[in-house]
Amino acid sequence: MNASGIISTVTRLMGPLTELYQQQKATSSHPLKPALAIVREYESAVYEFRDQRLPGPVKGVSELLVESVDAFEAGRVLDAGRAVMLALEQFEAAGKESSVIVTPEQAQLIGQFRTRLFKMVVPSAELRQKRIDL
């Protein structure tokens, strides 16, 4: 197995995650539930990935992505982003152990996704202060 499946799935998830994050950042700190159509799009991406046969070292990736669906549906974008980031990290670690094939180009894409998700999950100092003030 190679990383193309996880990359295409996360590519599909990043749009809805980023959109929901921007909406919540602009309006308030409490979770806003995404529109049903966006949730269905998100679920579809995750469940298509989950249907793939995964080797043992990355079986937990599917569980993390399903966890992200539950969080996303409830409007907990930070929890959803964290679960996707952990799934990427698990897949990346399996690539380093040669359990799955990750080309240098795929490793670069995975790194870019992780960076974007990290910035979302660990918000800037001003957002942390806003949460403290609440």
Q: What is the pLDDT of residues 76-106, one digit of tens each?
A: 999 999 999 999 999 888 888 888 888 999 9
Per-residue model confidence as pLDDT tens digits over 42-74: 999 999 998 888 877 788 899 999 999 999 999
Q: Is residue 69 packed enough to be buried (19+ CB in 10 Å), middle (13-18) or exposed (0-12)? A: buried
- What pLDDT does residue 64 have? 94
Bigger pLDDT: 130 or 23?
23
Ordered by start, the domain boundaries in the chain are 4-133
Q: Is the pLDDT of residue 110 over 50?
A: yes
How many helices and strands (H and E) does the chain possess?
Answer: 6, 0
Cβ atoms < 10 Å from Cβ of 87: 28
- What pLDDT does residue 31 have? 73
User: 113-126: buried (b, 16+ CB within 10 Å) or exposed (e) per residue?
Assistant: bbebbeebbeeeee
Record the tokens describing residue 111, joined without a space.
């790194």
**Average of per-residue pLDDT values in the chain:** 86
